[in-house]
Structure formats: structure tokens, C-alpha cells
């Protein structure tokens, strides 16, 4: 847990809810937590496009409505957990009800709004608390297979699980969400962030056309049918830098969501970098002699 992480307070608040309620096994049920707090939870078709759920206030009582237009238990659990974030996080009730007693949410790490992002990070942690999640990671395997297994275990979406996976993994991994030729966002593990010379991918950046993800996204049908692809790509195609290093690229279409999830795994990257550096040093140490 990095203390300069702006979402650390939201993460900590979610961990505290888990601890206070004595939750010791996966999956975490956000609807049960809400009902236990006297919050009514109901399924409701979203009236506005892109709304994942709503937090409603009537006097001192609260209600949560979650959207059902995306038929996924993971999406619905995340929506409810996001609304619980607004309920639990300091300052959120005042902020989300500033214009009335109905707050419409855009859960899913795509909003630029501070409160929405905080509620998303709260939700991811609530559904995948660190100690339970890292325990489950031990037997889940690697990369995309691990993310799928963990999503099943936690009843969470592949994207939310992928994000949580990068935050808890000790390996150099990243997940990228993309639509067509554009990157929606990218999350890197701490081990990958520590690799020198890499750039952060920004929202809206273009996908390199030499990646398997770019080719995959040329076919919207493959995205809709949740097809898969696997290849190796160059770390430079994703994060720039001055060294060419190969990474494993796993791609899966997210169905009606219309987006693609890519998992990049750069195992042994530190060793490969050391080898390259040693080689460069060796060349440099010999070069002056030849020049003489």
C-alpha cells in the first residue's frame, strides 16, 4: 500500500468495513452489507445511458438502485459496492447530494470525477479485500487465467478484478482497457512501475498498430463474442522507453460492454534489463581501446 496513492484513504475505508464486520471469506456480498445497514437495495433498469446505479436519500434513510442493462453479477456487485462507497467515505454524502436527493453513478474507473473514482477504488477493495484476495491469488495461477479465476471467486467483473490484481501482484504486470484504436486506461503493478524509463499510459492514447490488441479490436465481432488472442509484443509499444523487451500480451473481448481487456506480463524483466545493461557496459569498456 503506497501512502502517496490518492486513493489510499478510500482503500483503507473499505478494508475497515471488512474488518469491522468480521468478513473472513470470499465472496463479499455488498447487498447483504447494505441491507444490514438498513439500506434498501433494488434492481432497476437504468433510465440514462451509462448510469451504473443510484444512491437515493429520503430523510435519513438511504436506498441503492443498481442498473441491470449489463447482465453481469460482477457489474451489479460493483455498482452496489460503489454506492456503499458514497455512503461510507467522508464528504461523499454532502458532495453527491449537493443538487438533490438522487445521485446517479458512473461506476467502472472511467469517470474523471474525484468522488466517482474514490467510490470505484472503495468498491474494488470492498469486494476484493487485500488479505483475502492475496490469499486467493496464491492458488489462482498467473496473468489472465488468474484474473478469471479470481473474478469467479469474488463475483467481480474481469476489469475490476484485473485492476485489483495489478495492485496486489508482485510481478511486473499491467492491464489495459481499450476501445477500437484507443486506450481507455491502464493500471500497472508496483514492480512494473519500478522499471526505469517507462512512460505512463494516458487516457485516450492511441494503441500501437503492432500490438495484438490493435489487430483484435479491428473486429468488433470478436470483442462482442468475447473471443481471445495471445501473442508477444514489445514493452516499447506500450510504455515507450529506450529498450526493446518482449512481453506476453493476452487479449479478451468484454462482450456487450464493447471494450477489450489486455493483460501484459513482463516476467523476468529485471533480469533481462540487467543482462542488457551488462552487455552495454561491456561494449562501452571495450570501445575506447578500439578507438586508440
What is the contact surface with Zn ion in residues (CB under 5 A)? 105, 116, 119
What lies within 8 Å, CB to CB, of 196 at 6+ separation is 241, 273
Q: How far is the CB of 53 from Zn ion (least distance, A)?
A: 7
Residue 53's DSSP bridge partners are 66, 105
Q: How far is the CB of 178 from Zn ion (least distance, A)?
A: 24
Report the residue number, 119 or 175, with the smaller CB distance to Zn ion: 119
Q: How far is the CB of 85 from Zn ion (least distance, A)?
A: 7
Q: How far is the CB of 179 from Zn ion (least distance, A)?
A: 22
How far, in Å, CA of 119 to CA of 110, rounded? 12
Q: How far is the CB of 122 from Zn ion (least distance, A)?
A: 10
Q: How far is the CB of 242 from Zn ion (least distance, A)?
A: 41
- Three-class HEC string of 124-170: HHHHCCHHHHHHHHCCCCCHHHHHHHHHHHHCCCHHHHHHHHHHHCC
Using a 10 angstrom Cβ sphere, with 0-12 exposed, 13-18 middle and 19 or more buried, the burial of residue 252 is buried
Report the residue number, 105 or 250, with the smaller CB distance to Zn ion: 105
How far, in Å, CA of 106 to CA of 119, rounded? 10
Closest CA to 186 of 209, 164, 206, 203: 203
Q: Read off the C-alpha cell for 56.
A: 437515493
Using a 10 angstrom Cβ sphere, with 0-12 exposed, 13-18 middle and 19 or more buried, the burial of residue 208 is middle
Q: Read off the C-alpha cell for 210.
A: 503492432
Report the residue number, 54 or 168, with the smaller CB distance to Zn ion: 54
Question: By beta-carbon distance, which residue lies closest to Zn ion?
Answer: 105
Report the residue number, 46 or 119, with the smaller CB distance to Zn ion: 119
Report the residue number, 105 or 236, with the smaller CB distance to Zn ion: 105
Report the residue number, 113 or 277, with the smaller CB distance to Zn ion: 113
Q: How far is the CB of 93 from Zn ion (least distance, A)?
A: 12
What lies within 8 Å, CB to CB, of 194 at 6+ separation is none
Reported residue count of the chain is 292
Report the residue number, 39 or 195, with the smaller CB distance to Zn ion: 39
What is the Cα 11 distance to its own chain's centre?
13
* Angle value at C-alpha 52, between 151 and 11, nearest 5 degrees: 55
Q: How far is the CB of 238 from Zn ion (least distance, A)?
A: 30
Report the residue number, 126 or 183, with the smaller CB distance to Zn ion: 126
Amino acid at each position: 500500500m503506497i501512502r502517496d496513492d490518492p486513493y489510499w484513504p478510500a482503500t483503507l475505508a473499505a478494508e475497515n468495513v471488512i474488518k469491522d464486520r468480521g468478513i473472513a471469506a470470499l465472496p463479499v456480498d455488498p447487498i447483504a452489507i447494505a441491507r444490514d445497514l438498513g439500506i434498501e437495495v433494488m434492481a432497476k433498469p437504468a433510465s440514462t445511458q451509462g448510469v451504473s446505479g443510484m444512491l437515493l436519500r429520503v430523510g435519513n434513510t438511504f436506498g441503492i438502485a443498481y442498473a441491470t442493462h449489463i447482465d453481469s453479477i460482477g457489474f451489479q456487485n460493483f455498482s452496489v459496492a460503489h454506492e456503499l462507497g458514497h455512503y461510507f467515505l467522508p464528504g461523499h454524502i454532502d458532495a453527491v447530494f449537493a443538487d438533490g436527493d438522487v445521485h446517479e453513478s458512473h461506476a467502472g474507473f472511467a469517470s474523471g470525477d474525484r468522488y466517482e473514482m474514490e467510490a470505484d477504488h472503495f468498491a474494488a477493495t470492498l469486494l476484493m479485500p487485500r488479505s483475502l484476495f492475496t490469499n486467493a491469488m496464491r492458488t489462482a495461477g498467473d496473468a489472465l487465467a488468474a484474473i478469471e479465476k479470481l473474478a469467479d471467486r469474488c463475483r467481480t467483473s474481469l476489469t475490476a478484478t484485473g485492476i485489483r490484481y495489478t495492485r496486489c501482484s508482485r510481478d511486473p504486470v499491467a492491464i489495459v482497457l481499450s476501445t477500437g484504436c484507443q486506450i481507455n486506461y491502464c493500471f500497472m503493478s508496483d514492480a512494473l512501475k519500478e522499471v526505469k524509463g517507462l512512460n505512463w499510459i494516458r487516457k485516450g492514447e492511441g494503441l500501437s498498430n503492432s500490438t495484438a490488441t490493435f489487430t483484435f479490436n479491428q473486429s468488433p465481432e470478436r470483442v462482442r463474442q468475447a473471443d481471445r488472442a495471445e501473442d508477444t509484443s514489445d514493452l516499447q509499444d506500450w510504455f515507450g522507453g529506450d529498450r526493446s523487451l518482449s512481453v506476453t500480451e493476452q487479449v479478451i473481448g468484454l462482450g456487450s460492454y464493447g471494450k477489450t481487456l489486455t493483460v501484459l506480463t513482463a516476467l523476468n524483466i529485471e533480469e533481462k534489463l540487467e543482462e542488457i545493461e551488462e552487455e552495454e557496459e561491456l561494449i562501452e569498456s571495450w570501445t575506447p581501446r578500439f578507438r586508440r
